[in-house]
Amino acid sequence: MLSRQEYIEKFKGQLDEWNGEIDKLEVRAQKASEEMKQQFEAQRQKMEEQREAVQQRLSELQKASEASLEDLKKGFEGAWATFKESIEKAQSHFQWSGHF
């Protein structure tokens, strides 16, 4: 079982990777058609909101007491799954669709 700090560091590392993926997609969007730019912008806004939710949950995990840690982990993992799904959707739609 991971310690609290290992758990947080694991997800921070993945979050950094996904931030890089968002940046790559944004660069590609600049070269896309106007329609695809608009679609990407809508998706990017969702990803930004979800990333903020994940960052807020990570902050809560860092400050949590041991007694509340497990409950907070469950909430965090739900936000994490939503953010991950959003990133994967954007990657598959915008990166591989041939629109860029």
- Nearest CA among 45, 44, 69, 46 for reference residue 58: 69
Report how many domains make up the chain. 1
Q: List Cβ neighbours of 29 (8 Å cut-off, separation of 6 or more).
A: 36, 37, 40, 41, 44, 94, 100
Instruction: Decide if 100 is inside a domain.
Output: no
Q: Is 55 exposed, middle or buried (0-12, 13-18, 19+ CB in 10 A)?
A: middle
Label residue 95 by pLDDT band (50, 70, 90): low
Asked if the structure places residue 79 within a domain, the reply is yes
Give a yes or no: residue 24 inside a domain. Answer: yes
Structural domain including 87 reads: 4-95
Query: 99: pLDDT confidence band, cut at 50, 70 and 90?
Result: very low
Q: Looking at the predicted structure, is the pLDDT value of residue 98 above 70?
A: no
DSSP 99: -
